[in-house]
Chain A
Amino acid sequence: MLYALKIATRYLTASKAQTALLVFGVAIGVFIFIFMSALIGGLAEFILSSMAGDMDHISIQAEAVDPGLLVPGDGVLLVQQSSTETTAVLKDTAAFMPLIAALPGVTAVSPQVNGSGVLIRGALVSQVSVKGLEPGKESAIVRLASYMVEGSATLASGGLLIGKTLVEDMDLRLGQTVRLQSSVGIEALLTVTGIYEIGSGGPDRSMAYVGIATARTLFALPQGVTRVEIKLTDLYAADATALRIRALTGLDAKSWTEQGAQLLAALRSQATVGTVLKGFALLTIIIGVASALLLSTYRRRPEIGIMRAMGAGRWFVLVVFVSQGALVGLLGGLVGAAAGYGVLLFFPARESFGSQTILPIDITQGAYGLAILLTTLGAIAASILPARAAARLDPVTAIGQ
C-alpha cells in the first residue's frame, strides 16, 4: 500500500504542470462548494435575523370563545354572537412561567396583555395595536433596544414606545403626552419615552408598546395575560419545545412553523437549491478527475504492462491510480478550502449583517471539512473507473504499445 502510494505520488510529481492544472480545477470546484455553503447559510441567517429574529418562536394564546351558542327547543334556535369587546384571557399561566423559562433552549419568556386601540392627539387619530410588556422584558422578543432612534426602550409607568412612521404621521416628538384609548373605551394619558425604527411598515406605523400594568388598566384585565411569547436559541427546535410545553402545562403552545410555514418552506427550498448547486460543483470535480485519470492511464499503459510483468498484481495497479485520485482530491480540497476561507474573510461577519448587506455570506458556514471530505471521496470514486481499466490491461498488449 505504501509502495503504491509512492508510485502514485511520483506519477503526480512527474507531470507537475498537468497535476497543478488538475488540482487547480478541483480547487475551483471546492471553492464554489464553500462559497455556496457560506452564501446559502448566510442568506438563511440574514433572512432569519431580519424576519424571524424579531419573531416569537413559540406562542401561547388564549383560545377564542365559541362564536355562537345554539340552544335548541320548540323549533327555536338562539344564536349568541361572541363579544368583540372582551379579550380571551390566559388565567393560570403565571405558575407555569418559571417552568417554561427553565426548559432547555428557552432564552426568553414574555407574558403580555395585548389589544387594540387608537392614539389621539388633538384632531389626529391613528389606530394602533397595543402590546403590554413586562418591565425589563421590552427587548425579549422584538429587539426594541437595537431599533431605538430616540429615547430609551425601557418602559416606565405611563411610558409609550412608538415607531418613527407613526411619530411622523401624528407629528409627535419625544416627551410629548398623547392619549391612548383602548378598544374597550378606557383611556390613558401616556408620554412618548422612546421612538424606534424597525424598518418595516407595520410595526413602525401601527404598534404601541406600553407597560403591562398600563395595558391591564386599558383593557380592564386585573389578572392573567392574553398571550405568552417564547424565544429559543435554536428556532428549528420550536416544534419539539412547543410539544413539550403542551405536555407539561396543557397550554396551547404553538410553534412559529405553524404560522410561518411559508418562511420555513422558502428557507428549505433555498437550502435545496444550495444543495443542488453544491452537487453540481461536486459532479464537475468528479468528471474532471475521471477524465484526467483516464488520460493518465492511457498515457501510462506501457508502464502498467511493465509493472504487471515484474509481478505487480491487478490490485496494486488499482491502488496506484485510486491513490492518485485521492491525492488530487485531498490536495484540491485543501487548496480550494484555503482559498475559499481566504476570500470569505473579506466579507462582513454575520454579526454585522444589516439592511445594507448586499451579499450576506457567513464564513462560519463554509462547510470546509465537508467540502474536503466529499471532494476526496468524489475523486476516489472518479478514479475507480480508470483504475479498473488500468488494472484489467493485458500486460502483453500494454508493453507492445
Chain B
Amino acid sequence: MTALLRVAGLVKTFGTGEAETRVLRGLDLTMGTGELAALLGPSGSGKSTLLTILGTLMQPTAGSHTMLGVDLTTASDRALTEFRNLHIGFVFQFHNLLPDFTALENVVFPTAVREGRETAAARTRGQELLVRMGLAERVHFPTANLSGGQKQRVAVARALMNRPELVLADEPTGNLDRVSAMQVMQLIAEINRDEGTTFLISTHDEKIAALCRRQIVVGDGLVTG
C-alpha cells in the first residue's frame, strides 16, 4: 500500500485573541491508497475541520499537508480548485445536490465544469455510475423528486465521477434510515474494493464504522487511536 496523503503537525485555529479556538493541535495522519477508513470522535473533536482541510477547502494554520506527493499547504486557490476537481470527491451529510438539475446533470458536474461542457463521454460515465447506484430509472429525474437515500446515492456517484483517488464523506448516512444507510455503505465498500478508491468516512455510528477496515479516532484536535 502506497501513501496517498500525509498530514503532519496540523494546527487549525479560529478567531483571534481571547476568542481564539484551537480545533486541531498538531494532528498527524497518513493514509494509503485503497483504504476504507472511518473517522470517529465526539462532536467538536475536529473531525469536520480535518475533512475540510484534507478536501483542500480550507488551509491549516500550521503544519504540512501533502497528497499524491503534492504540497497542498502552499498551493494557490486556483491550484487547489484544480487538484480538488481531479483527485478528491465529496459526500456530504445532506447530499447537497444542485436542486434545479437532474440526477445525471448533478453527477456529470465535476467533469463538465472542468471541460467547459457536458460531453457525450461524461454523460455515458454518469449514466453508468447511476446504474451502478441502482438509479437506472432515475437518471433524468429532477433531484427534488428523489428520496433521501436516492439523493445520497446520486451524491456518491457525483463524488466518483472524475475517478478521484480520495473520497471524503462527512456523515454520509447520518440523515438516512437504517436500510438506506446500509445500501449506501455497501456501495462505498464495493467501489473501494473494485476500484481501489480511498474513502475517509466521518461518522458517529459504530455500525457504520465497523464496516470500515480502519478506524481513526480524533479527540481534542489530535489522532488518539
Contacts and interface: CB of A to CB of B under 8 A. Distances in A.
Interface residues of A, number: 23
A396 B58 contact: yes
Interface stretch (B38-46, B112-120, B209-217): B112-120
Contacts of A303: 98-99
Interface in B37-95: 52, 55, 57-58, 77-78, 81-82, 84-86, 90, 92
A3 B112 contact: yes
Interface stretch (A98-106, A217-225, A311-319, A364-372): A311-319
B158 interface: yes
A307 interface: yes
A310 B85 contact: yes
A309 B118 contact: no
Q: Which one of A1, A11, A305, A306 has the highest number of Cβ atoms from chain B below 10 Å of its Cβ? A: A306
A6 B112 CA distance: 11
B90 A309 contact: yes
B224 interface: no
A91 interface: no
A108 B109 CA distance: 70
Contacts of A312: 81, 85, 113
Given A309-B55, A309-B84, A310-B110, A10 B77 contact: no
Contact of A308 (B81, B118, B162): B81
Given A395-B57, A399-B92, A310 B100 contact: no
A37 B6 CA distance: 67
B52 A311 contact: no
Interface residues of B, number: 30
A321 to B, nearest CB: 15
A154 to B, nearest CB: 74
B21 interface: no
A14 interface: yes
Given A2-B117, A396-B58, A313 B78 contact: yes
Nearest to B87: A311
Interface string A360-382: 00000000000000000000000
Interface in B118-169: 118, 158, 162
B84 A316 contact: no
A216 B57 CA distance: 97
A311 B81 CA distance: 5
Nearest to B105: A10
B57 A309 contact: yes
Given A308-B81, A310-B85, A396-B57, A3 B99 contact: no
A393 to B, nearest CB: 12
7 contacts: A1-B116, A3-B116, A306-B98, A311-B85, A311-B110, A311-B162, A313-B82
Given A311-B85, A399-B96, 12 more contacts: A6-B118, A10-B101, A308-B81, A309-B55, A310-B109, A310-B158, A311-B84, A311-B113, A312-B85, A312-B113, A313-B81, A395-B57
